[in-house]
Amino acid sequence: MDKIEEFKEYLLQDDKTENTIEAYTNDVIQMFEFLKIKNIDEINEEGLEKFKAYLIYDRELAPKTINRKLLSVNQFLKFLKFNYQVKQIKIHRQNFLDNVITQDEINQVIHKCELYGDLRTKALLLTLIYTGTRISEALQLKIYDINRDYVNITGKGVKIRTIFIPDKLKEYLREYSRYRVNKSDYLFTGKQGGISRYQAHRDLKKYANMCGINHKVSHLHNFRHRHCLNLRDKGLDIATIADLVGHSDINTTRIYLRKSKNELLDTINNLY
């Protein structure tokens, strides 16, 4: 792609090192491939925000890595004289468990979906909280999976992992399946096939805003965090939790053994 080569020359003239130039161009190429862009005229703000959401909610990259990739993209936009810059994400150094959505907040959102007759969003959110799947995994589910006890899907890092589907969730999924607007193989569909992660995120935000839920906690991956905490609160051991949610490194699961500030405060208050 000519523009990529021109971008490399632009970075070279800006005294960027060879490693930096390679990193920037690889990030830009990743953005092009994700958005299926063939020429720069196809770049738009919506697509750029979709790429950002992909890095956060699908790839689940570390905040520093996400910001580096967004910096690369913004440098490319500056080179193109494109009048838009993708905002970098804030890096929170406090305990992330302080910003995990509560089960009560999830119940509020589910109830709001019911009030508006949105069976798809209800079914998707229940899938996330009942199974602890990542949104990218949930959107891989097929219609015939609703009759299975477990499903093998491609998870993070192209690893095959098992999702267990409890009986109660099957009931909700079967209810939703009768009203799907599209008869494709994918379980969660729109008018033109399977829905995107971006659409799912937008739907959650809509109902969470209606419920007055803090925007810091109303994101899809927080359902996975809440699922892990629910398993912890039920007394499951750390190895079982790791197996259920597909953590290859048990140290990742250990994070959920920590307590949030509110939980620590409750502990202190209940001592005396």
Class in CATH terms, 2-80: mainly alpha
- Mind spelling out the 3-state secondary structure of 119-142? HHHHHHHHHHHHHCCCHHHHCCCE
- The pLDDT of residue 95: 59
Q: Give residue 183's pLDDT.
A: 80
Q: Assess contact for 109 and 213: CB atoms under 8 A.
A: yes
Q: Are 200 and 124 in contact (CB under 8 A)?
A: yes
CA dihedral (86, 87, 89, 91) in degrees, to 10, reads 130
Place of tokens 């979709």: 50
> In terms of DSSP bridges, do strands 160-164 and 189-190 run parallel, antiparallel, or are they unpaired?
unpaired
Domain ranges of the chain: 2-80, 106-267
In 3D space, the residue among 24, 28, 6, 5 whose CA is nearest the CA of residue 16 turns out to be 24
Contact 179, 119 (CB under 8 A): yes
Contact criterion met (CB below 8 Å) for 228 and 237 = no
**How far, in Å, CA of 68 to CA of 18, rounded?**
16
pLDDT digits (tens, 9 = 90+) for 77-95: 999 998 889 988 776 544 5
Hey, what are 74's tokens?
A: 């913004």
Model confidence, pTM: 0.66
Domain 106-267 CATH class label: mainly alpha
Report the distance separating Cα 11 and Cα 3, nearest Å. Answer: 12
Query: Per-residue DSSP letters for 71-129?
Result: HHHHHHHHHHT-S--PPPPP---S-GGGGPPPHHHHHHHHHHHHHTT-HHHHHHHHHHH
Question: Between helices 103-115 and 119-131, what is the axis angle to 10°?
Answer: 160
Q: What does the alpha-carbon distance between residue 244 and residue 28 come to, in Å, rounded to a whole number?
A: 35
Which of the residues in the chain have pLDDT under 50? 93-94
- 106-267 shares the fold of 2-80: no
C-alpha pair distances (Å), 180 with each of 79, 112, 188, 193, 206: 44, 19, 8, 10, 20
